[in-house]
Structure 1
Amino acid sequence: MPDTLTPYDLACEGRTTPLGLDEAVPRLSWKLADGRPGQRQTAYRLVIEGGGGRHDSGIVRAEESLHVVPEGFTAAPATRYAWTVTVWDADGAEGASASSWFETGLLGPEGWAGASWIEHDPALDPMMDPPTFGEPLPERLGSCPPARLYRRAFTAREAPASARLYVTARGIYLPYLNGVRVGDAELAPGWTDYRHRVQYQTYDVTELVAAGENVLGAQVSDGWWSGYLGFDRRRQAEHYGVRPQLIARLVIDYGDGGRDVVVTDAAWREHDGHVRHADLLMGEVHDARLERSTAGRWSPGYDDSAWRPVRIAGADHDTLIGMLDEPVRVTEEISPAAVTALPGGRILVDLGQNMVGRVRLRVRRAAPGTRVTLRHAEVLDESGEPYVANLRSAEATDLYIAAGESEEVYEPAFTVHGFRYVEISGHDDVDVTGRVLHSDTRFTGELVTSDPEVNRLLANIRWGQRGNFVSVPTDCPQRDERLGWLADAQVFLPTACYNADVSAFFARWLRDVIDGRHPGGAFPDVAPVVDRYPVNREGAPGWGDAGVLIPWHLYRVYGDVRTLERCFPAMAGWIDWIESGNPDLIWRDRVGNHYGDWLQIGAETPREVLATAYFAHSATLVARAADVLGRAADAERYAGLAQRVRKAFADAFVGADGSVTGDTQTAYLLALAYDLLPDELVEPAVARLVDAIRRNGDRLSTGFLGVALLCPVLSAHGHDDLAYTLLHQREFPSWMYSIRHGATTIWERWDGWTAEAGFQATEMNSFNHYSLGSVGQWLYARVAGIDQAPGSVAFRDLVIAPVPGGRLTSASARYESPRGLIATAWELKDGAFSLDVTIPPGARAVVRLPIGGGTHEIGSGTHRFTVPQGD
């Protein structure tokens, strides 16, 4: 720790150094570190330089370091800004400085002048026999079009002083300049509701542009735009578009002030290319023979006379917006844990971890035309074969046609799979490396306990988050679904925020949630939404409520007022829509496809109970949001509505003995978590909850919505012991049951596989779903003891209250909060409980020690507490 107040981890709009930021009034943030106790920021100074100008805030007396808007500063388009923050400490002494940068994008459609969307012209398809692949392809994979190649030669009069490529696609694209792949974004531009928004990426290509002839190129496939999407068993070309399109603008600035601009227009040419079939769900067919025949395609001097003219698809720019969060990237490589032989000359590669991404295949000594097939699976069946029935219509198959060189390396680019196992057939002299893909949200939390099974659970939760945060927060990554289900996201968000900085990721996705609203104000079940789709309907209770819960939680964790303000009209509209359809305030109508407590096990929570509880909770949060935003009349109205809904709930569903209609674990959890009970009935209801768990053999029965509340509610009402019992429970249903049977991610269902019944129904049985991993929030907040006080925002006021229990004898956690590092480490040893705590500058904490250790108030710095256990 430094011995002076030091800013670090500088961010602009929630990103470290954003390139291509489409925000003229950006918000700046920094964290603070100081090894001295009781420190805080009392003032700051911002200096921003760029575009020939300099903005100096002067010394601003303020403690806030999050989402600071520099007063009087407005950014210009396509401009690099360097910024420096200097801070002053609690004693008024000047502390350290730190610097970073951000660069704006085009800041509006006018920046795209002259650029057109280009696409393949099917009228120019050559009349020729298709390439030969050997055995027939899987039907759905064979129906997918190629990833087409686009190129444009241009001349630069000299090496540039600066060059920027602004580019995106309706589909998925890989950009190239003079034979070099540009950037490291995968599956770009990601999935948004393309009718409202297409994100473009900005790349610094200064070093790639040379004096003389240059070539700008791209490879483009269907992706989410026009490929297979969701669980419809037909190609959904009508969802967004018929075929993929590319748009680009290359701006070359010279040292003498001159500028050249290259845009997508009729001068571009296209070719079918070597990726003969490509689809996110189905897989990819890559013919290396054709790849070798077009060698040099991205380089100057290549003869493209056999290529065809492109077709201009339009020149609309209104939906284009700069990237709002970090892209999908390859973030890790995994080596095989085991390689075994299967009948028929096949090889089975076990990567040891259920992951999301693809493999890098190294092929040696394969004859030209050798067909190497890769099939992906999450688990094996009883005979040791890849189990693919749960993939439904997703082929999850990649095919590589060898060119015949001594060694060849293949990695698909236009597909993504959820898998642990890869079956390889057609050639056995191969090596495989797993390549992990996900939206590159920085990890912020780490928790390790003395129990290996709990640590495995934590790892499973993290891997589930990684695998399902691929452009949007999906439900599952392997089968023909992969949709942005709102309930899954809202129940898991508190856990996700501990694991990683997901502020920009969710703020961007919320735009699709808002755009997906139905007439009248109902949020959808999934976002982005698509037309003519089975789940394109009014959101269900707990699903549509995510449109309220997520913006509020982002405000609580990150202090993001701007996103809360942007979402507020839609949040209020959701509550108005429910109220107008349910005048007695019991939510029975306008429930969409009511899912209840989805996949609860051995219980059936009445749907009116669940829905009305969510109605009350969401109305409460809308009232709180209105208060934060200074909307006094709205705050009063929705607070009053929430109180009336609470009364309606109690009158309709709560007995005089504290019973709640349905008598299920989830019914009590909702009533207790959302403060729906009269004070005198809280303890009787808690007793009934405890009894419901005990009657079930100390096992849970909760589904997607109830499970997130289970351990937190028990702990809040003095039953940490029972929460630990549920955590450690190894019998079905439980978290540890799946771990005992080899799970490396969170399963969709408690009974995804059981020793008695084997696999559950193939129509819905994912082995990588994060919803049931929402217990992670309790693990951080109660086991590690890192939590916020009720009225705190962005971890300014902390509650450090770790509770040892169960089999645990120690736990240590680090959480890079928006304000700085929070760390705890406790241990039970030699007759004493010891606790080390680190609090960042500007934060304060109430420390509650177990075993009679009392309560202590502390400021920033590192503190140690020791409490004798007694006899």
Structure 2
Amino acid sequence: MLKVSHLTCEYQQFLLGTDQTRPRFSWTSTSDKRNTKQCSYHIKVATDPQFINLVWDSEEIENDQSVQIQYDGEPLQSFTRYYYKVRISDNYNRYSDWSTSDWFEIAFLKETEWTAKWVTPKYQQAPEEVFALRNTISLNKKIKSARVYATALGIYQLHINGSKLDDALLTPGWTSYHHRLQYQTYDVTDKLVIGKNALGIILAEGWYKGMGFDQPYEYGKKLSALLELHVVYEDGMKEIFTTNESWKSGKSAFVSASIYNGETYDARLATNWSEANFNDEQWIPVDCAKEPSTKLVAQENEPVKVTGKIKPISYILTPKGEKVLDMGQNMVGRIRMSVTAPEGTKITLKHAEVLDQDGNFYTENLREAKQQVIYIAKGDGEETYAPSFTFQGFRYLKVEGYPAKDLPLDQFVGEVIHSDMKQTGEFTTDNPMVNQLQHNIVWGQKGNFVDVPTDCPQRNERLGWTGDAQVFIGTALYNYQGLLFFKKWLSDLKVDQKPDGQVPFVIPNVLSGDTVSSGWNDAATIIPWTLYQVYGDKSILAEQYESMKAWVEKVRSLATNETVWEAKIQFGDWLALDGDPDSPIGATPIPLIATAFHAYSTEILAKTADVLGFENDAEEYELLYERIVSDFQAEFTTPNGKIIGGTQTSYIIPLAFKLLQGDAAQKAAHELHRMIVANDYHLTTGFLGTPFLCSVLSQYGYHETALRLLLQEEYPSWMFEVKSGATTIWERWNSMNPDGSFNDAGMTSFNHYAYGAVAEWMYRSIAGITFDEAVPGYKKINIAPNISPLGMKHVKASYETLYGPVSSEWKIEDRFVTLKVLIPVNTEAEIKLPPHSANITLDGDAISDTKITLGSGSYQFEFYIHQLKQKLMTEESVIGELIYYPKAKALLEKNLTNFMHGEMPPQAAFQMIKGLTFRECKVTPETGLSVHQIDKILLEINEVINSLGEEK
């Protein structure tokens, strides 16, 4: 059995409305044989589902590529649907059947093809106004197909013949309106009738104008809409209807709408305004004078939709007498309410993330955002309503004016809203708190991926902060398929970037000022490179290359000798706990952070130039990178191996970016470990240090230290949030203090995803799933779990690559480990078992290697972890401390290995360990151990060896 499935065009199964002239195809394959690899592919593209009218027949091409294969046929035509199918052969000389066919559809390949006029409601004056636009058309023939192409300056909702057209929300999304505006394509074939039809548009402010963060959005003064309806009749004739002077505007039941403040809807004002027989004589003709210069582009990313529903778990009457519903989950979206009430009954829904210490409704952290929905009842039986032009971040819902003594739970439903990305990752363990943390991370991503990667979804901010996005990108791409989401956002980053290369703090940019900050602006390089590593898509690098280069050159111009960036005022390690309590910047020296990120971005740029074949650039930036590394070491490290600043982050970032080598790196890693142990396994890191903290520790041999940080339940920690009842990730480690009080209301969010970046390490290190950097896109996979019984004895993770699912599951029972892996067709994986594994079997057959390369299929490893090694690695004792010292660790592990393999009797092993330990480890500058401590260690080792001697 060899089968092709999951066809996509530009990462979408059915791509309705693209402006790509040469779109790319991908697919996955399934096979009943292991080690299956594709040997050839054959693609056909036609204008008909029978594939009679071919526009491209690739014929059989001997190639193992199954992702991002570019169309290479006849020139594609606007407003045309194309069907495609694939078949492949494999290394077992088998051919698959032809796949089922999927399709993509071209919209406008040229902007000049638009014939519609922008329609602007007259007399726009009041803030948060909502307008209805309408027109009627006549269709006198049988319809074969019909498409609407629409967009707006503002956000819009389409109606045809009395019904809402689509389930997408907040269209056309938020772009840099001065430069780019997305339009959407809708199939309306079954919405139209022969005869008279009505077309309607509801138009609200959205992100285009009105209330913003500290200052109003001012992309423009007036809301406008643009629409074309293309109708193809059964006889082959085509007719186009557009927005023009014949359209009219009027009021609807939407009294007001705002992203931040909410929505007011008066059901008494509802009419059949979008039906063909509506009398619009009192409506006002629109203005068609507007001619925006904004470039129109087909929608690139997934639309925002309702992706799930939540029922409230309890009704609360607070000490103040407030009627509150608890949704049980800090969510982003809206409430759908049902009510039977007298005409004119005003029901107000207010949204909050938390209750205060007394159990009352708490909204101080929302700042100026009202997050309020008002519904005025029509008084005609049961009425159901959910807002359309806003979204809220909340767990608790305060209801005022509902006509019942107690709130009926079954009359309220939470509708979860976010960009409709495909979930690609799962991570579960036998530890409920770790599972809750992963749950919180996923829900934080859901709530903040609403068309742009926002920092928070509730207060008057909700901006696409670059720093938050870049630290979270690795985790984001494990959890969800994020290429299209970030591709769209990076397109706005590129156009909002200033001529001198400066990258704004937020994208789309709505802030003023010219301040730069490392770690934030570096999103220009880090995010494209990460997308390339995960998906292997060079086009992302090609599209962003000039932006990446401009940013590196900007920092190069600011740095002394082009290398050391002596920055003074930046965000630093934002919200770290090691600095001035009155400052959010943290104690890590800003020049150290700035220079380290300068090195990292330069290295990324050099690698990008190499991938794209820009040899001169690759050589130039590699040399610049080497100079930055050298000058970093001279400027920020001391002869005895210390790093200036002395904070956890001052060690983490240079280690993460590989700015230290050899003994210097190992000493720095040990010092980081020592600081964490001395701080009783508590972190002090902020936005820039935290994402790399655990991964650096694991990489340099301190995986148990990383686990203890993850599992730490006392403040500050991830598990402190979990124990405190969090269902998303907090903005601050102390958004809620240990005594239950809240931090500064001016900047305290309970749904920020930045610290959720730890999940990338959980997937990579605990489960062991990652890409091979030399072969990006998971064409070659690395599976190398760090297996430790500390906190978890059963871990299971999976990730949906472009080739299919890869999974890693390990379980410890006593001292035996079972590891199950799944590798997708047309890939291979290198499996690395723990170095001290013994008695290894693969599917029941004995093997000797701890590193093995396998092709596609599912496999099961079983192996034995010696109890002595297990004890030394996990026990809360000075033995556990000893193995973290580089020389001692190497010597100890060598002799433990000999002991475990029976090459040395227990007491001989002990005597050798004793001699080597005293000789090599009593030098206190190297180990920090006193002779007394070594004696204690040796006593414990002797005790363990004696206890295991008979068993061995």
TM-score, normalised to structure 1's length? 0.94
Matched, 1:8 2:5: yes
Of residues 312, 320, 324, the one that matches 1:348 is: 324
Distance 1:403 1:346, change over 3 A: farther
In the aligned structure 2, how far is the partner of 1:490 from the partner of 1:73? 39
Q: Which residue matches 2:336? A: 360
Verify the 8 A CA contact 2:560 2:566 in the aligned structure 1. Answer: no
Q: Deviations over 1:366-419 (max 9, x none)?
A: 111111000000001112122100000000011001111221111000111000
- Give 2:104's aligned amino acid: F
TM-aligned CA deviation for residue 304 of structure 1: 0.8
Gap change, CA 1:314 and 1:243, over 3 Å in 2:
closer
Q: 1:50 to 1:606 in 2, by over 3 A?
A: same
**Any stretches of 5+ residues in structure 2 without a counterpart?**
580-586, 839-849, 868-952
Question: Does the 8 Å CA contact 1:179/1:297 hold for their aligned counterparts?
Answer: yes
* One-letter amino acid of the counterpart of residue 804, structure 2: G
CA contact (8 A) 1:360 1:411 kept: yes
Aligned to 2:554, which of 577, 582, 600? 577
- The one of 267, 277, 287 aligned to 1:288: 267
Contact between 2:178 and 2:294, CA under 8 Å: does it hold in 1?
A: no
Q: Contact between 1:178 and 1:298, CA under 8 Å: does it hold in 2?
A: yes
SS in 1 for 2:745: coil
1:715 to 682, 698, 716: 698
Question: What residue identity is the alignment partner of 1:221?
Answer: A
Q: 2:820 aligns with which of 797, 820, 836?
A: 836
Equivalent residue number for residue 234 of structure 2: 255
Which aligned pairs between 1:767-782 and structure 2 lie closer than 5 A?
767-782=750-765
Which digits, 9 at most, give the CA deviation of each residue in 1:179-204, with x for residues without a partner? 12111110111100011111000000
Q: Percent identity?
A: 38
Q: Which amino acid letter does the alignment assign opposite residue 550 of structure 1?
A: I
Q: Is the 1:146–1:273 contact (alpha carbons within 8 Å) kept by the matching residues of 2?
A: no
What is the DSSP-based 3-state SS (H/G/I as helix, E as strand, rest coil) of the residue aligned with 1:190?
coil
Instruction: Name the CA distance, whole Å, in 1 between partners of 2:630 and 2:262.
Output: 53
CA deviations over 1:663-694 (Å, ceiling 9, x no partner): 11111111111111142311111111111111
Structure 2 residue identity aligned to 1:594: Q
Letter in 1 for 2:278: Y
Distance 1:538 1:9, change over 3 A: farther
Secondary structure of the 2:617 match is: helix
Distance in 2 of aligned mates of 1:567 and 1:538: 22
Partner of residue 65, structure 1: 66
d(CA) in 2 for partners of 1:586, 1:628: 24
Give 3-state SS (helix, strand or coil) of 1:596's partner: coil
Deviates more, 1:212-221 or 1:750-759: 750-759
Aligned to 2:807: 823
Cα pair 1:578 1:590 within 8 Å, conserved: no
Q: Residue 120 of structure 1 aligns to a residue in which SS?
A: coil
Give, in whole Å, the separation in 1 of the partners of 2:321 and 2:700: 59
The runs of 5 or more residues in structure 1 that have no matched partner are 126-142
The structural deviation recorded for 1:584 is 2.1
* Aligned residue type for 1:464: G
TM-aligned CA deviation for residue 229 of structure 1: 2.0
* 1:159 alignment partner in structure 2: 142
Q: Using the alignment, how far apart are the partners of 1:23 and 1:584 within structure 2?
A: 43
Instruction: Check conservation: 2:567, 2:590, Cα contact below 8 A.
Output: no
> Which residue identity does 1:688 align to in structure 2?
E
In the alignment, which residue of structure 2 is the partner of 1:458? 438
CA contact (8 A) 2:322 2:360 kept: no
CA distance 1:818–1:406, shift in 2 (3 Å): same
Which secondary structure state, in structure 2, belongs to the residue aligned with residue 715 of structure 1?
helix
Map 1:349-498; keep pairs closer than 5 Å. 349-364=325-340, 366-429=341-404, 431-498=411-478
The match for 2:830 is: 846
2:540 paired with 1:563: yes
CA distance in 2, matches of 1:701, 1:792: 35
Give CA deviations for 1:99-124 in whole Å, capped at 9, x if unaligned: 311111112212212x111111118x
**Which amino acid counterpart does residue 70 of structure 1 have in structure 2?**
Y
1:537 corresponds in structure 2 to 514
**1:231, distance to aligned residue in structure 2 (A):** 3.5
Query: In structure 2, which of residues 718, 728, 751 is the aligned counterpart of residue 735 of structure 1?
Result: 718
Match of residue 333, structure 1, among 305, 309, 326: 309
Structure 1 residue 761, shift from structure 2 partner: 0.4
- Distance in 2 (alpha carbons) for counterparts of 1:608 and 1:515: 28
User: Which moves more between the two structures, 700-709 or 575-584?
Assistant: 575-584
The one-character-per-residue Cα deviations of 1:560-600 (angstroms, maximum 9, x if unpaired) are 11111011111111111111222424443677x51001111
Question: What SS does structure 1 have at the residue aligned with 2:830?
Answer: strand
SS for the counterpart of 2:399 is: strand
Structure 1 residues 313 and 827, CA gap change in structure 2 (3 angstroms): farther
Q: Work out whether residues 749 and 765 of structure 1, in 8 Å CA contact, stay in contact via their aligned partners in 2.
A: yes
Q: CA-to-partner distance for each residue in 1:251-309, whole Å, 9 max, x for gaps?
A: 11101121221111110111121111110000101001111xx2x21111111111111
For 2:130 and 2:32, locate their aligned partners in 1 and report how far apart those are by CA, in whole Å.
Answer: 54
1:811 alignment partner in structure 2: 795
The answer for the alignment partner of 1:600 in structure 2 is: 576
- 2:530 counterpart (553, 563, 568): 553
Amino acid of the structure 2 residue aligned with 1:397: Q
- Judge conservation of contact 2:44–2:54 (CA < 8 Å) in 1: no
Matched residue, 2:872: none
**Structure 1 pair 337–181 and aligned structure 2 pair: CA distance change class (3 A):** same
Counterpart of 2:207 in 1: which secondary structure? helix
TM-score, structure 2 normalization: 0.86
Matched, 1:674 2:657: yes
Distance 1:313 1:775 in 2: 52
Deviation at 1:757, TM superposition (A): 6.8
- Report SS of the residue matched to 1:76: coil
Which residue in the other structure is 1:101 paired with? 103
- Structure 1 match to 2:90: 89
Residue by residue over 1:537-569, the C-alpha shift from the partner in whole angstroms, topping out at 9 and shown as x without a partner, is 343101111100111111110111111101111
SS of 1:311 mapped into structure 2: coil
Letter of the aligned partner of 1:383 in structure 2?
A: D
Contact 1:788/1:795, CA 8 A, preserved across alignment: yes
Q: In structure 2, how many angstroms separate the alpha carbons of the residues matched to 1:524 and 1:375?
A: 33
> Which residue is equivalent to 1:213?
196
Measured in 1, the distance between the counterparts of 2:118 and 2:438 equals 45
The counterpart of 1:752, out of the listed 710, 727, 735, is 735
* 2:306 matches 1:322: no
Query: Are the counterparts in 2 of residues 281 and 415 from structure 1 also a CA contact under 8 Å?
Result: yes
In structure 2, the partner of 1:866 is 862
Amino acid at match of 1:110: T
Change (3 A) 1:663 1:344: closer
Per the TM alignment, residue 458 of structure 1 is displaced from its structure 2 partner at its CA by: 0.3
Once the 2 structures are TM-superposed, how far is the Cα of residue 830 of structure 1 from its aligned partner?
4.7
CA contact (8 A) 1:538 1:590 kept: no
Query: Following TM superposition, by how much is the alpha carbon of 1:491 offset from its aligned partner in structure 2, in angstroms?
Result: 0.7
1:128 alignment counterpart: none
C-alpha separation between the residues in 1 aligned to 2:61 and 2:685? 50
1:501 aligns with 2:476: no
Q: Following the alignment from structure 1 to structure 2, what is the Cα–Cα distance between the partners of residues 812 and 73? A: 47
Which residue of 1 is the match for residue 129 of structure 2? 146
* Rounded Cα–Cα distance in structure 1 between residues aligned with 2:97 and 2:704: 46
